[in-house]
Amino acid sequence: MDKVRIGVIGVTGRGGIAIHWQNDPYGRAEVVGGADISQERLEQFKARVNAAAFVTTDYRRLLERDDIDAIAVTSPDFTHEEYAVAALEAGKHVFCEKPLAITTAGCDRILNAWHRSGKHLMVGFNMRYMNMFRVMKEIADSGVIGEIKAVWVRHFVGMGGDFYYHDWHGSRANTTSLLLQKGSHDIDMIHWITGHYTRRVAAFGSLDFFGGDKPNDLRCPTCPENRTCTEALFGPRTQCCFRQEIDVEDNNVMIMELDNGIKAAYLQCHFTPDYHRNYTFIGTEGRLENSEPEMKVWVKTRVSNTWRELADRTYDIKKAVGGHGGADPVICADFLDMILEGKEPVATPIAGRMSVAAGCAGAESLRSGGRPVDVLPLPDWAR
């Protein structure tokens, strides 16, 4: 095979990454199909990506086609398990957007289908492909801060209302918790940069700002309060963010114990005025920290009786071209490298499962008074 023929399930939102496969500079891919519940979106997909693409409102029609080698699952979270398993069982390679599924059992079902299929699977962890976090990984792996012992992560989700409470994300039935929906990126960064997975968590969280007593069918454009409501939206997501059905916590704190005893703290809030992630990794010889707004990473060193103690360091992160801080074209290329060259992807299926498992354990903990919860282990064959 010298060209991967790709079908996309869920052609809007994250489905927009299809353009990077269609426009691969080396001609290694072609997007030949799309499935979505909206015929209008499918027509837009054809106009935007490939006018000759086969489109359907039934994803199973994609899986039946012999002219499709791989499937990109970029539909809403609660559909990932069904679509990824079906695609693998149909003999297709799979790119699955994060989170891999919304339950640990769902992730394991996908992993088992992958194991049986003999096909390739990778997860859409685009942060592993961002310049800033690749630099932080390189620094940690270099040993300049010694052996990592503590991690602190603060996630300021300044657009939480826009991203998560005006549409399907606000329901536990669709997401389980934002600790795994939004937090899967952050949990994965803790795992990736430290090189260890979470084994036990305790968490607290609540719905402190969003949700309320508004009717579930209320939408911003028709709401009589839309001129004064600070959360009114008139874009693609217009459901009232103060509606009764919202039951997903918007303010979370989780502490984590990793396999080698590293202690980590993860804080996530969805009604902050700004948007950025702040990571701190503390090792036996120094501290590593980032600032997304400033595009900088700092290393502070302590006495170690080595030359490393002689200087602190500031890294100016270079800007990259492409969506998600330049990550989207790189992750799409990695998917092709995996299929065509057999290269191990940077964003592995096991990593996808473990971030969800930690987030699910956190959701269980915070909904049971903060009691410690063990993360469910991997299937025996994957350990």
Amino acid in the structure at residue 55: V
| pTM attached to this predicted model | 0.96
Separation between Cα atoms, residue 276 and residue 158, nearest integer Å: 8
Q: pLDDT of 119-132, one tens digit each?
A: 999 999 999 999 99
Q: Select from 3.40.50.720, 3.40.630.10, 3.30.420.40, 3.40.190.10 the CATH code of 4-125+328-346.
A: 3.40.50.720
Mean pLDDT across the chain, nearest whole number?
96
pLDDT at residue 257 in the model: 98
Percentage of the chain surpassing pLDDT 70? Answer: 100
Separation between Cα atoms, residue 154 and residue 268, nearest integer Å: 6
Separation between Cα atoms, residue 241 and residue 275, nearest integer Å: 19
Domain boundaries of the chain, sorted by first residue:
4-125+328-346, 128-322+353-382
Q: Which CATH superfamily is domain 128-322+353-382 in?
A: Dihydrodipicolinate Reductase; domain 2 (3.30.360.10)
* Cα-Cα end-to-end distance for the chain: 31
Q: Do domains 4-125+328-346 and 128-322+353-382 have the same CATH topology?
A: no
Q: pLDDT of 107-120, one tens digit each?
A: 999 999 999 999 99
pLDDT at residue 220 in the model: 96
Separation between Cα atoms, residue 107 and residue 98, nearest integer Å: 11
CB atoms within 10 A of CB 324: 17
Token pair in block for residue 363: 């959701």
pLDDT of residue 313 exceeding 80, the answer is: yes
Q: How confident is the model at residue 82 (pLDDT cuts 50, 70, 90)?
A: very high
pLDDT of residue 281 exceeding 90, the answer is: yes
pLDDT of residue 322 exceeding 90, the answer is: no
List beta partners, residue 272. none
Separation between Cα atoms, residue 156 and residue 54, nearest integer Å: 40
Q: pLDDT of 122-159, one tens digit each?
A: 999 999 999 999 999 999 999 999 999 999 999 999 87
pLDDT of residue 226 exceeding 80, the answer is: yes
pLDDT of residue 160 exceeding 80, the answer is: no
Strand (E) or helix (H) holding 150: strand 148-156
Q: How confident is the model at residue 1 (pLDDT cuts 50, 70, 90)?
A: confident
pLDDT at residue 201 in the model: 98
- Cα–chain center distance at 104: 15
The arithmetic mean of pLDDT across residues 353-380, rounded, is 97
Q: Do β-strands 373-374 and 198-206 pair in parallel, antiparallel, or remain unpaired?
A: antiparallel
pLDDT of residue 212 exceeding 90, the answer is: yes
Amino acid in the structure at residue 168: W
Helix (H, G, I), strand (E, B) or coil at 315: strand
Residues 129, 105: contact at Cβ < 8 Å?
Answer: no
Separation between Cα atoms, residue 238 and residue 222, nearest integer Å: 10
pLDDT at residue 161 in the model: 79
pLDDT of residue 272 exceeding 90, the answer is: yes
